[in-house]
């Protein structure tokens, strides 16, 4: 076996074979390793040590000496790059006193198997180092320090754990965690200005790779949030808090049979509160639920986590779930244990006997337990013989609770239907029924049931329903309307037309009979056909050969219109346009010499109308023939006429 640019002895080292062993020989002059007694199938591990191999492609050539058979394999050796070891998160880590602090270290091409992480210094009276066995190919190591236990335990290793990328190294059975100060602290690590120094080094080489800081803050209590979840959906013994919260809704009203959830946002607990048994006087951390009102001469009942160990309390019988990442813990309990229609006060306290506070730190809330009840919104429902028919109601139970709704009809058209409805966050539920195919007019009974299986289940409720008699949709029909356009007045022989627009404003195509009469004569009497939304226009001549009124009328099946066009003499038309004096000319016609008065009107455009008025005065005096004033008018009219003809 040979490999390019690799000596036989180096190749033997890479293969893990010993040239001093019988059956293995090295021919350095030819860079060959010869191995005798090789099985037909045999595996060799090749170690590409950087002192022997550089970053390039290598070809390994194989030859069976007895048969002359050959084979080769090509391998690429890459440069691993520089080795780096450094603290993550800009080398600054933060935690609250009493919680667990995570110190993360990023690695690249780290070949040594151990790291040494040091926390603190002599200046702050606390210094501890932890030796870590690093996993092969690990890219990150996370060292977790319990800030409540660090410095206060007899064995400092109890405060440290590697949660990713390796494990605490051991010397025999003892973990390699060393507290360098000679004394044990009486209280958890303090929140000091500037924080605690961090250092990471190679254990074997004693090389410092990076430095950082761990800052501890004072603990806090933010508040309490209350929620509830369906009792038949939650198994306190088996479920995780994430599964419970999937079914939970915020509420301060819990129904019997459901579960209550107390969510407390607080820090500085998770280094020493791990279960219900850790509550109570040992750490002076308490969660109590107390009746707001006690009866006469009675002490209010108080339920407490770990209450069996506390005087004057009963056990809350709740399950504890911690979510340290979000600085929150949950206590989940059965609402059945609490009397209905009574206010219950919830109080979380970190007491003054706790080493992390100087005085009581408290958060409070309250809830009420109510009976499980369900109800219909109506006593009687009218539905259609169709899908998507909603029967609605309300409930006092937790959102997400299932309500079973039955609809049953007997008699000539029997049916039985079951629909499951879900209570929403507003305490409302909707059962979506399909009544398609059922006979209109059928009456039926409704029943709603709580699916909760316990003794606290709500009583069934009842209502009634009826399938309405469906009204047939009216057939689409055409609807014809007319719009007309005609002048109100024209002069003799002036062109005039009656315009008619016929429209079908209905929803269907159709026909209608259009009748048009002008001056008493029918000029159109035909059937018109129009599509829905279509219109058509027609026009008809209005006779103007003689003065007088011309009437017209247009009718269709459902609409009609009518009007009158006044045809006036040419002069009359001009006088009418000029104004009131034209009317005086009409008065002149009333006299015996009315014809002469008419001649006077024909010769004027406005002024002659006044002369016409003078003619009326002459008639009023009763003089026969032409009087002086009439003669003057006639002469003036003739002059004006002559002048107009010249123009």
Which tens digit of pLDDT belongs to each residue from 636-645?
444 443 333 3
Residue 189: exposure state from Cβ atoms within 10 A (0-12, 13-18, ≥19): buried
Whole-angstrom distance, CA of residue 151 vs CA of residue 123: 15
> Are the CB atoms for 423 and 401 separated by under 8 Å?
yes
pLDDT of residue 348: 98
Band of pLDDT at residue 472, cut at 50, 70 and 90: low
Q: How far is CA 168 from the centre of its chain?
A: 46
* Cα distance between residue 440 and residue 24, in whole Å: 99
> Tell me, what's the pLDDT at 29?
60
Task: Return the bridge partners of 375, or none.
Answer: 394
For tokens 């899908």, what's the residue? 387
Query: Is the model's pLDDT at 630 over the cut of 60?
Result: no
Q: What is the pLDDT of residue 157?
A: 96
d(CA 159, CA 150): 5
Name the pLDDT band for 501 (thresholds 50, 70, 90).
very high
Predicted pLDDT at 50:
67
Pair 556, 512: CB distance under 8 Å: yes
In this structure, of 146-150, 256-260, 466-470, the range with the lowest mean pLDDT score is 466-470
- What is the pLDDT averaged over residues 261-287? 96
pLDDT band per the 50, 70, 90 thresholds, residue 579 = very low
Question: Contact 457/433 with Cβ under 8 angstroms?
Answer: no
The pLDDT score that the predictor gives to residue 63 is: 78
Looking at residue 308, what DSSP letter applies? G
The predicted structure's pLDDT at residue 243: 85
How confident is the model over 255-282, as a mean pLDDT? 95
Percent share of the chain, pLDDT over 90: 62
What per-residue string of b and e applies to 380-407 under the rule 16 or more CB within 10 Å gives b? ebebebeeebebebbbbbbbbbbbbbbb
- Res. 625: pLDDT tops 50: no
CB 381 within 8 A of CB 464: yes
For residues 202 and 109, is the Cβ–Cβ distance under 8 A? Answer: no
CA distances from 25 to 2, 61, 329, 451, 573 (A): 12, 16, 68, 83, 139
Higher pLDDT, 203 or 177: 177
Residue predicted with more confidence, 536 or 646:
536
Residue 642: the pLDDT is 39
Greater model confidence, 440 or 623: 440
Question: Using one digit for the tens of pLDDT, what is the confidence trace for 514-541?
Answer: 999 999 999 999 999 999 999 999 999 9
DSSP state of 68: -
Extract the tokens encoding 530: 């129009």
pLDDT of residue 611: 39
pLDDT above 90: residue 309 = no
What is the arithmetic mean of pLDDT over 52-75? Answer: 78
Q: Which pLDDT belongs to residue 118?
A: 97
Answer yes or no: is pLDDT of 199 > 70. Answer: yes
**Residue 10's pLDDT is what?**
76
Burial of 297 (0-12, 13-18, 19+ CB in 10 A): exposed
> In 10 A of CB 615, how many CB atoms?
30
Least confident span in 181-185, 402-406, 622-626:
622-626
- Residue 28, pLDDT above cutoff 50: yes
Tell me: pLDDT of 597 over 50. Answer: no
Residue 218 predicted with pLDDT over 90: yes
**Segment among 144-158, 178-192, 428-442, 462-476 with least mean pLDDT:** 462-476
* pLDDT on residue 605: 43
Average pLDDT over residues 100-108: 97
Cα 188 → chain centroid = 45
Cβ neighbours of residue 287 closer than 8 Å, sequence gap 6 or more: 262, 264, 279, 304, 305, 316, 318, 331, 346, 347, 348
Q: Which of 89-103, 172-186, 264-278, 627-641 has the lowest mean pLDDT?
A: 627-641
User: If you average pLDDT over residues 542-547, what whole number do you get?
Assistant: 91
Segment 51-73 shows an average pLDDT of 77
**546 or 346: whose pLDDT is higher?**
346
Q: Produce one character per residue of 410-440: b if its CB has 16 or more CB atoms within 10 Å, e if not.
A: eeeeeeebebebebeeebebbbebebeebee
Residue 221 has pLDDT above 50, yes or no: yes
Single pTM value for the model = 0.64
Residue 502, token pair as written in the block: 């016929």
Q: What is the pLDDT of residue 27?
A: 67
Q: Does the structure show a pLDDT above 50 at 598?
A: no
Supply the mean pLDDT for the chain. 84
Q: Report how far residue 32's alpha carbon sits from residue 46's, in angstroms, rounded to the nearest whole number.
A: 15
Residue 561 has pLDDT above 80, yes or no: yes
Least reliable range by pLDDT among 134-148, 228-242, 270-284, 466-480: 228-242
Q: Please check whether residue 466 is in contact with residue 417, taking contact to mean a CB–CB distance below 8 angstroms.
A: no
Q: Please give the structure tokens belonging to residue 4.
A: 């390019």
Is the confidence at residue 614, as pLDDT, over 60?
Answer: no
Question: Which tops the pLDDT comparison, 155 or 15?
Answer: 155
| pLDDT exceeds cutoff 50 at 602 | no
* DSSP assigned state of 280: B
> How confident is the model over 564-588, as a mean pLDDT?
58
Share of the chain above pLDDT 70, in %: 84
Does 444 have pLDDT greater than 80?
yes
Lowest mean pLDDT among 22-31, 104-113, 355-364: 22-31
């Amino acid at each position: 076996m040979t490999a390019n640019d690799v000596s036989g002895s180096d190749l033997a080292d890479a293969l893990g074979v010993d040239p001093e062993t019988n059956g293995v020989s090295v021919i350095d002059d030819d860079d060959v390793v010869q191995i005798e007694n090789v099985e037909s199938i045999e595996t060799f591990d090749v170690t590409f040590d950087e002192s022997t191999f550089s970053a390039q492609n290598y070809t390994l050539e194989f030859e069976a000496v007895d048969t002359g058979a050959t084979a080769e394999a090509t391998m690429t050796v890459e440069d691993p790059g520089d080795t780096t070891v450094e603290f993550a998160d800009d080398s600054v880590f933060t935690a609250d006193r009493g919680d667990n602090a995570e110190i993360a270290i990023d690695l690249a091409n780290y070949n040594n198997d151990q790291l040494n992480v040091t926390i603190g210094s002599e200046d702050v009276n606390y210094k501890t180092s932890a030796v870590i066995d690093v996993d092969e190919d690990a890219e990150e190591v996370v060292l977790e320090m319990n800030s409540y236990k660090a410095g206060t335990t007899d064995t400092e290793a109890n405060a440290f754990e590697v949660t990713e990328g390796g494990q605490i190294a051991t010397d025999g059975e003892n973990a390699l965690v060393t507290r360098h100060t000679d004394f044990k602290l009486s209280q958890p690590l303090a929140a000091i200005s500037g924080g605690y120094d961090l250092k990471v080094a190679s254990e074997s080489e004693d090389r410092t790779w990076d430095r950082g800081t761990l800052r501890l803050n004072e603990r806090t209590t933010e508040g309490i949030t209350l929620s509830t979840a369906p009792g038949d959906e939650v198994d306190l013994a088996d479920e995780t808090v994430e599964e419970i919260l999937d079914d939970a809704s915020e509420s301060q009203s819990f129904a019997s049979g459901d579960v209550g959830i107390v969510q407390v946002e607080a820090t500085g607990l998770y280094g020493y509160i791990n279960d219900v048994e850790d509550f109570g006087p040992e750490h002076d951390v308490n969660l109590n639920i107390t009746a707001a009102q006690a009866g006469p001469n009675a002490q209010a009942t108080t339920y407490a986590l770990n209450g069996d160990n506390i005087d004057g309390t009963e056990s809350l019988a709740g399950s504890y779930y911690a979510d340290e990442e979000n600085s929150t813990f949950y206590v989940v309990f059965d609402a059945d244990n609490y009397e209905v229609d009574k206010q219950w006060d919830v109080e979380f306290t970190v007491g003054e006997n706790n080493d992390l506070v100087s005085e009581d730190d408290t958060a409070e809330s309250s809830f009420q337990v109510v009976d499980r009840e369900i109800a219909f919104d109506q006593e009687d429902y009218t539905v259609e013989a169709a899908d998507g028919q909603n029967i609605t109601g309300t409930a006092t139970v937790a959102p997400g609770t299932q309500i079973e709704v039955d609809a049953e009809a007997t008699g000539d058209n029997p049916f039985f239907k079951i629909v499951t409805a879900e209570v929403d966050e507003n305490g409302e539920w909707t059962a979506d029924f399909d009544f398609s195919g059922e006979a209109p007019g059928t009456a039926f009974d409704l029943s709603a049931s709580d699916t909760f299986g316990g003794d606290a289940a709500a009583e069934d409720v009842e209502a009634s329903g009826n399938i309405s008699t469906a009204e047939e949709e009216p057939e689409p029909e055409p609807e014809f309307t007319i719009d007309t356009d005609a002048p109100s007045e024209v002069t003799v022989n002036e062109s005039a037309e009656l315009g008619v627009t016929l429209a079908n404003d209905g929803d269907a195509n159709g026909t209608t009979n259009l009748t048009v009469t002008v001056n008493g004569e029918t000029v159109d009497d035909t059937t018109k056909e129009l599509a829905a939304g279509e219109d058509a226009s027609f026009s008809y001549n209005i006779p103007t050969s003689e003065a007088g009124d011309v009437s017209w009328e247009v009718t269709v099946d459902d609409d009609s219109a009518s009007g009158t066009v006044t045809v006036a003499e040419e002069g009359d038309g001009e006088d009418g346009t000029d104004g009131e004096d034209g009317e005086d000319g009409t008065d002149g016609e009333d006299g015996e010499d009315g014809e002469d008065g008419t001649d006077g009107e024909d010769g004027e455009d406005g002024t002659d109308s006044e002369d016409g008025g003078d003619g009326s005065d002459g008639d009023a005096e009763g003089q026969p023939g032409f009087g002086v004033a009439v003669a003057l008018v006639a002469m003036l009219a003739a002059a004006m006429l002559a002048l107009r003809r010249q123009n």
